[in-house]
Structure 1
Amino acid sequence: MEGPSNAFPMNGGEGPHSYTRNSSAQRIFIDRARKLIQEAVAEHLDIEAFSSSGAFLVADLGCSVGPNTFYAVSNVLQAVEQKCQSLGLDSQILEFQVFFNDHAGNDFNTLFRLLPPVRRYHAAGLPGSFYGRLFPKSCLHFVCSSFTLHWLSGVPKEVQDKSSPAWNKGRIFYPNANKEVIEAYAAQFAKDMEVFLCARAQEVVLGGLMALTFGTRRDGAPHSQFITNRSLDLLESCLVDMVKKGTISEERMDEFNLPMYYASPQEVKEAVERNGRFSVKKMVEIVDIHPSANPPWRAGLEGLLKEQMQFEDEMLDEFFDSVTRKHEESSILEFAPEASVTFVLLKRNAAN
């Protein structure tokens, strides 16, 4: 999300509520995307054009603090080495430089403490929002980003404007809100994707690749039926309970909205086509038939609640205990048995 005031990184450290210890679901999809990365590099990476530079630059955008970023990067580098070997090139000639990017508030200390001691790349941290330029022109050969682009640069202004038909009173999210709220979130996603793609188009070399993994709802499916959105509905209901008990004010809840949007694969494709600077080379749906019934939301949302809702530790404990109980009592998986994730491979066009 844009700017330090809107940046709420995942929980740092290695404690029980850290992202490091609560990101195994994401790891499943990163593992499943490994073969897709290999195929993408084998079919679409022009390694012969890049090998003469001597250095191959990779960026993981929204790396967070857990080990998942190292698995994702390892998948990319192994695929590049295999491509070199298949062409009879000496992969050892290439030097790999990997940039781990996230907001300045990200726990880079823990991230670099967890770096694999034996690795085939030089590592560097790069703080800053990916909704803007991060790198010099035409320097990156491969960009990956996993489970990050559902985070918007900020909450759509309309949903917090009392005079707007999109004012999201009594809610913190869009799935069960009126159509104006849903449209405002969809428009913010489209706007943010345009900014993201324009920035990357300047940074990625011609012929360079981007592998993006999105949590997505099925094309044409109601927002309210996507399993993650159903889970967030339960979280919203726990905040409503706190308002009823007088723990937080109704006004404070009305001012709070989640800066997240889960697009459909079609929306992602349309955003890329509108931008025109990349072409979609592969778009594959990965399905998890055993999604978590109780996602570890605390690892991702604690910072946001502390900052915007002024939750102290005791209130956070009470709130997330309540969320856990509601998940255990709900039949959420009955109605949404699959979690859908979309892998998208983009190649930098020469025309723009």
Structure 2
Amino acid sequence: MEKVVIESVAMNGGVGDYSYANNSSLQRSGFEAAKSLIHEAIMEKLDIKHLCNGNSIRITDLGCSVGPNTFIAVENIVEAIEQRHHSEGLKLPLPEFHVYFNDQLSNDFNTLFNSLPLERRYFAAGVPGSFHTRLFPEKSIDLVYSLGALQWLSKVPEDVVNIGRIHYSNAPSEVMEAYKGQFSKDMERFLDARAKEVVHGGLMVLSFPCLRDGQPYSRFLVGVFFSLLGSALMDMVKMGKVDQTKVDAFDVPFYAASPKEVEALVERNGHFTIERMETQDFPILQGKGAIQVYSKHNRACTEGLIRQYFGHDDEIIDELFDLFTNKLSESFSILEESCMNFVFVLLKRKQD
């Protein structure tokens, strides 16, 4: 079968049992780990005096998805900016906050905005579209925030040949290199777009899964997830419920870069200074209760991709994730010994 170029799609919408809104506690942990760093970034690096000369402070969450995480993050950012303003003792009043929630065109914006906090200190707007392209007018954004999104590629590399697997975990080195090349292209497009949109002196606060330098991918938690999900698909091939050639042509557009890769791409772009970069350990869940958390989390994140390619048969999807859950349980000791890291990156827009 000819290789299909699979593009990223949004997380599961709605508020059901397999929705992202109800299965994003792992991402919440990522935010909690970065919360103090975000606060410090705003308190130390944000040019509050310059912001107070304008009519508004414009913030965007790129890859906001659906659910409470984005609202919690935005509220913390607004609170930190207010504290920064207060600490300076400025006579100028703090401008109004405008927050732009961005995600894929297929994102469930209806559910997102139906759950907006009633008591909020900002005006809200949705901006649908890929963050690998331009989204805003030139020099219009003061602060960019994105957590747990940049690891999702715009598409699977077109030249990947990955028989019997759905990711570069446990794949030949040329498959990983193809993924690495696609991440580089996507990150270059992301930085070029933001360089036009972010005001001089504006900040970008980014946090996403990464692989520590020299860390084996076989011990990376997400890599284990994708290996097990691919194994579940191959079981369905043996059962005659999924075609082998379709599995061979399917890959997940997810790449965990190393901090060195990210640093090199930022420096090559040349429009931002790296104000801070550090790697944080992500807590691995313990106990058998983690199995259902991991299973529902993965379904919330990948079901859209799977349905897009394999079809919308609910029975097939349910059976696939039942097999995946069983494999998680059988591999629980491997999961507990795995690692998961996030890279926190604070960028500041240079003067041209």
In 1, Cα distance between equivalents of 2:312 and 2:124 = 36
**Pairing 1:269–2:263 present:** yes
From 185, 199, 222, the equivalent of 2:216 is: 222
SS in 1 for 2:53: helix
Q: Which moves more between the two structures, 130-139 or 222-231? A: 222-231
SS in 1 for 2:22: coil
In 1, Cα distance between equivalents of 2:283 and 2:301 = 23
In 1, Cα distance between equivalents of 2:259 and 2:8 = 26
SS in 2 for 1:262: coil
Alpha-carbon deviation of 1:21? Answer: 0.2
**Pairing 1:75–2:69 present:** no
Post-superposition Cα deviations, 1:47-82, rounded to whole Å, max 9, x if no partner, equal 111211020000000110111001111121111111
* C-alpha RMSD over aligned residues: 1.4
Residue 145 of structure 1 aligns with which residue?
146
Residue 305 of structure 1 aligns with which residue?
306
1:48 corresponds to which letter in structure 2? Answer: K
Post-superposition Cα deviations, 1:123-161, rounded to whole Å, max 9, x if no partner, equal 0001111110000000100000111111101010110xx
2:326 corresponds to which letter in structure 1? Answer: R
Say whether the 8 Å CA contact 1:213–1:343 is kept in structure 2.
yes
Residue 184 of structure 1 aligns with which residue?
178
For 1:219-298, what aligned pairs fall within 5 Å after superposition? 219-291=213-285, 292-293=290-291, 294-295=294-295, 296-298=297-299
Q: Which moves more between the two structures, 262-271 or 8-17? A: 262-271
In 1, Cα distance between equivalents of 2:91 and 2:231 = 57
**Pairing 1:168–2:165 present:** no
Say whether the 8 Å CA contact 2:8–2:153 is kept in structure 1.
no
Residue 202 of structure 1 aligns with which residue?
196
Alpha-carbon deviation of 1:231? Answer: 1.6
Residue 346 of structure 1 aligns with which residue?
347
In 1, Cα distance between equivalents of 2:48 and 2:101 = 22
Q: Residues 224 and 13 from structure 1, CA distance in 2 versus in 1: closer, same or farther, beyond 3 angstroms?
A: same
Alpha-carbon deviation of 1:289? Answer: 3.1
Say whether the 8 Å CA contact 2:284–2:336 is kept in structure 1.
no
Residue 109 of structure 1 aligns with which residue?
110
For 1:317-336, what aligned pairs fall within 5 Å after superposition? 317-330=318-331, 331-336=333-338
Say whether the 8 Å CA contact 1:12–1:110 is kept in structure 2.
yes
Alpha-carbon deviation of 1:266? Answer: 1.4
Higher normalized contact order (CA 8 Å, seq sep 6+, divided by chain length): 2
In 1, Cα distance between equivalents of 2:91 and 2:108 = 36
1:335 corresponds to which letter in structure 2? Answer: E
SS in 1 for 2:126: strand
Q: Residues 7 and 181 from structure 1, CA distance in 2 versus in 1: closer, same or farther, beyond 3 angstroms?
A: closer
Q: When the two structures are superposed, what TM-score results if normalisation uses the length of structure 1?
A: 0.93
Identity %: 49
**Pairing 1:46–2:40 present:** no
Say whether the 8 Å CA contact 1:30–1:71 is kept in structure 2.
no
In 2, Cα distance between equivalents of 1:224 and 1:277 = 35
Residue 163 of structure 1 aligns with which residue?
none
* Number of residue pairs the alignment of both structures matches: 339
Q: Residues 133 and 25 from structure 1, CA distance in 2 versus in 1: closer, same or farther, beyond 3 angstroms?
A: same
Say whether the 8 Å CA contact 2:61–2:145 is kept in structure 1.
yes
Say whether the 8 Å CA contact 1:7–1:105 is kept in structure 2.
no
**Structure 1: 5+ residue stretches without partners:** 160-166
